[in-house]
């Protein structure tokens, strides 16, 4: 990193940003979002608002709830929305139809998936491996699932997970992209290692869905859970999704067998009989307003190729790292996100002294990322609405702030 930037360097970076923006095949997608002059690099926490959501939600409230009321469960398709919205997510994570259902929080879905994974693995296995650097809720919920099913939890670094899975392992719970460092885990390798050990891997896709091709079917994943309010822009607290691979659906034994996953819910029979298909992942009545806002938000993906999203994501994070290296005084920031593409998600995390104060100053100056204790600045790059000029501006404000 250089102590000072020459005018020539500055102009060269401007030229580079302009050229990258001009060549960006996804540039026009930005028009599908409500944005302002903020450089919003926190889409890995809450995605920006797609323009079509407000109108659609007003229609849901005024027409479907206000006018049709109870009839909307049938006539407006509310009842089947969890599966229908799942089908919109499926191609974004490499899943054929019929395997994704939307509803409940990520935490609740992690619980379903981990308990079900231990049941799929069968008896005689006493441990659940949990990503040692996991987003905390996964760890808390996995510990509860293990307590209830008679397993113990063993924390293992994602990079050592494949080697750690063995004859005692019932389930593995792994974050596809580490929320703090932005490191991308080896989903194909860990999934294969889990299978080789007779165990079931559960993938948390919160920081990868919508940011990169996941390839759930291609890599033989059994169970996955993901968030829809980050790179999928579904709105604050939008319901999570649950992927149940077709081949395990008949054996998916949910710890939360609510009436919405009954094979004949309106028979209201006293005994539970699980529905076939991904519906089996449902529990209770879905929060329709949040769910249908998500459905509208997913329309921004029409015609979008996730491979192009990934290419742009890597170009954005590469360019940000390049700008930071060129502009930020030496020693002030240390990248913690891997430089290697194959190990990088769609965010850049930088270790920084006084990171909390630095992020507050950045936000004050119109560059919004976030801060993760104790010392990490986190910048998420949503390829659908982030441009290369945004990246350069963010790096300049950052350099100026930490100087």
Nearest distance from C-beta of residue 325 to a second copy, angstroms = 27
Q: Is 195 annotated as a binding residue?
A: no
Do the beta carbons of residue 115 and residue 252 sit within 8 Å? no
Dump strand ranges (E) for 331-385. Answer: 333-335, 347-352, 367-368, 370-372, 376-380
Write out the two tokens for 247. 């081949």
Do the beta carbons of residue 380 and residue 346 sit within 8 Å? yes
Q: What is the largest distance, in Å, between two alpha-carbon atoms of the chain?
A: 76
Decide if 243 is catalytic.
Answer: no
* Per-residue contact flags (x/-) with a second copy for residues 202 to 241, judged by CB under 8 A: ---------------------------x-----xxxxxx-
Q: Which residues pair with 380 in a beta bridge?
A: 347
Do the beta carbons of residue 245 and residue 99 sit within 8 Å? yes
Q: Is 5 annotated as a binding residue?
A: no
- 367-368 vs 347-352, strand pairing mode: unpaired
Decide if 371 is catalytic.
Answer: no
Q: Is 204 annotated as a binding residue?
A: yes
Whose structure tokens read 């790096």? 395
Is residue 52 near a second copy by the rule CB under 8 A? no
**Catalytic residue of the set 33, 40, 111, 135:** 135
Is residue 258 near a second copy by the rule CB under 8 A? yes
Is residue 77 near a second copy by the rule CB under 8 A? no
Is residue 303 near a second copy by the rule CB under 8 A? no
- 3-state class (DSSP) for residue 128: strand
Is residue 358 near a second copy by the rule CB under 8 A? no
Residue 357: Cβ within 10 Å count = 12
Do the beta carbons of residue 199 and residue 125 sit within 8 Å? yes
Whose structure tokens read 């395997």? 99
**How many residues in the shown chain lie near a second copy by CB under 8 A?**
82
DSSP structure class, residue 28? G
Contact residue for a second copy among 7, 123, 270, 331 (CB under 8 A):
270
Decide if 135 is catalytic.
Answer: yes
Q: In this complex, which beta carbon is closest to a second copy, that of residue 5 or of residue 45?
A: 45
Is residue 165 near a second copy by the rule CB under 8 A? no
Q: In this complex, which beta carbon is closest to a second copy, that of residue 3 or of residue 36?
A: 36
Q: In this complex, which beta carbon is closest to a second copy, that of residue 328 or of residue 370?
A: 370
Q: Is 229 annotated as a binding residue?
A: yes
Residues of span 175-194 touching a second copy by CB under 8 A: 180
d(CA 269, CA 281) in angstroms, rounded, equals 19
Decide if 229 is catalytic.
Answer: yes
* Per-residue contact flags (x/-) with a second copy for residues 94 to 113, judged by CB under 8 A: ----------xxxxx--x--
Count of residues making up the chain: 403
Is residue 387 near a second copy by the rule CB under 8 A? no
* Annotation: binding site for pyridoxal 5'-phosphate: 106-107, 135-138, 204, 207, 229, 259, 285
């Amino acid at each position: 990193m250089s102590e000072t930037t020459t005018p020539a360097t500055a102009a060269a970076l401007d030229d580079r940003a302009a050229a990258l923006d001009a060549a960006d095949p996804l540039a026009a997608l930005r028009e599908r979002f409500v944005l302002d002059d903020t450089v919003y690099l926190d889409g890995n926490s809450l995605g920006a608002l797609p323009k079509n959501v407000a109108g659609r939600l007003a229609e849901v409230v005024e027409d479907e709830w206000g006018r049709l009321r109870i009839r909307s469960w049938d006539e407006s398709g509310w009842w089947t929305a969890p599966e229908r919205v799942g089908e919109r997510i499926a191609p974004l994570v490499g899943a054929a139809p019929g395997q994704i259902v939307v509803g409940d929080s990520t935490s609740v879905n992690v619980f379903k998936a981990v308990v079900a994974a231990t049941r799929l693995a069968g008896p005689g296995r006493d441990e659940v491996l949990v990503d040692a650097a996991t987003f905390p809720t996964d760890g808390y919920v996995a510990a509860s699932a293990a307590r209830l099913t008679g397993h113990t939890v063993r924390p293992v670094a994602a990079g050592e997970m494949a080697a750690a899975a063995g004859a005692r392992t019932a389930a593995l719970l792994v974050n596809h992209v580490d929320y703090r460092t932005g490191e991308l885990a080896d989903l194909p390798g860990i999934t294969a290692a889990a299978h080789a050990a007779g165990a079931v891997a559960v993938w948390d896709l919160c920081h990868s869905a919508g940011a990169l091709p996941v390839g759930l079917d291609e890599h033989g994943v059994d169970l996955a859970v993901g968030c829809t309010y980050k790179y999928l822009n579904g709105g604050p607290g939008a319901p999570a999704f649950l992927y149940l691979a077709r081949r395990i659906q008949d054996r998916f034994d949910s710890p939360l067998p609510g009436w919405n996953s009954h094979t004949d819910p309106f028979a209201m029979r006293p005994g539970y009989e699980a529905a076939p298909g991904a519906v089996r992942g449902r529990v209770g009545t879905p929060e329709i307003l949040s769910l249908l806002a998500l459905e509208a938000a997913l329309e921004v993906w029409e015609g979008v190729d996730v491979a192009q999203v990934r290419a742009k994501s890597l170009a954005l994070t590469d360019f940000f790292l390049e700008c930071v290296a060129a502009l930020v005084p030496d020693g002030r920031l240390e990248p913690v996100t891997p430089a290697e593409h194959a190990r990088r998600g769609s965010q850049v995390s930088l270790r920084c002294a006084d990171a909390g104060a630095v992020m507050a100053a950045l936000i004050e100056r119109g560059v919004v990322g976030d801060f993760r204790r104790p010392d990490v600045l986190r910048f998420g790059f949503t390829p659908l609405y982030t441009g290369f000029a945004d990246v350069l501006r963010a790096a300049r404000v950052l350099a100026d702030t930490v100087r």
